[in-house]
Chains A and B, each alone.
Chain A
Amino acid sequence: MFNELKEIICAYVDINPEEITEDSRFIEDLGFTSYDFMSMVGELEDKYDIEVVEREVIQVKTVGDAVNYIQSLQE
């Protein structure tokens, strides 16, 4: 899932996939705006067939957080 997420991230921001780690913060390190982040979450909803709760997802800061959150919704 981490690799799939990297690919999706690169569609939103101009960054080398090799630079993305689990600790990369979406806004501070990867340059996402808050809107782009939420748009990407919407795309992840469809891709992984999950329903995200907005007030929970705003606590997601890093790529690792995102992977964990998606996996928790899939269980």
Chain B
Amino acid sequence: MIRVLVLWLAMATAAFAVQPDEILDDPVLEERARELSKGIRCLVCRNESIDESNAELARDLRLLVRERLVEGDSDDQVIDFLVSRYGEYVLLTPRATGANLVLWLAPVILFGVALAIALVYVRGRRDPVTDDGLSEAEKARLAKLMEE
């Protein structure tokens, strides 16, 4: 959250992000534009999406996204266009290709490995003496006592 601090030093306008004059008349297109904007990085502010940012560049990108949508681009086409222009860096959701597969698969693999280790450990902790030394009659009596 503190990432905005220095950003603010650079920008002399109040925090507002999406300005009223940017909004498209068509609510469906506008909704798509908002959703797309949330996944596009404001390049000068590092960790903010263009939907949240007040930077001039973010505004330009928001307008660009809307322009493309109005011209009839699909969501993917808009994203491809932005990537071809600004590089993969512009995407807040890294594409699951090449080395990035490591990133995307890590949670699954880590969880699998951790679960396997935990299972082995838990099974290893089982009491080797499964017989607790009680006869059936004693067990029944114990159960009865526990019920009370």
Query: Are chains A and B native binding partners rather than an unrelated pairing?
Result: no
Which residues of B pack against A, CB within 8 Å? none
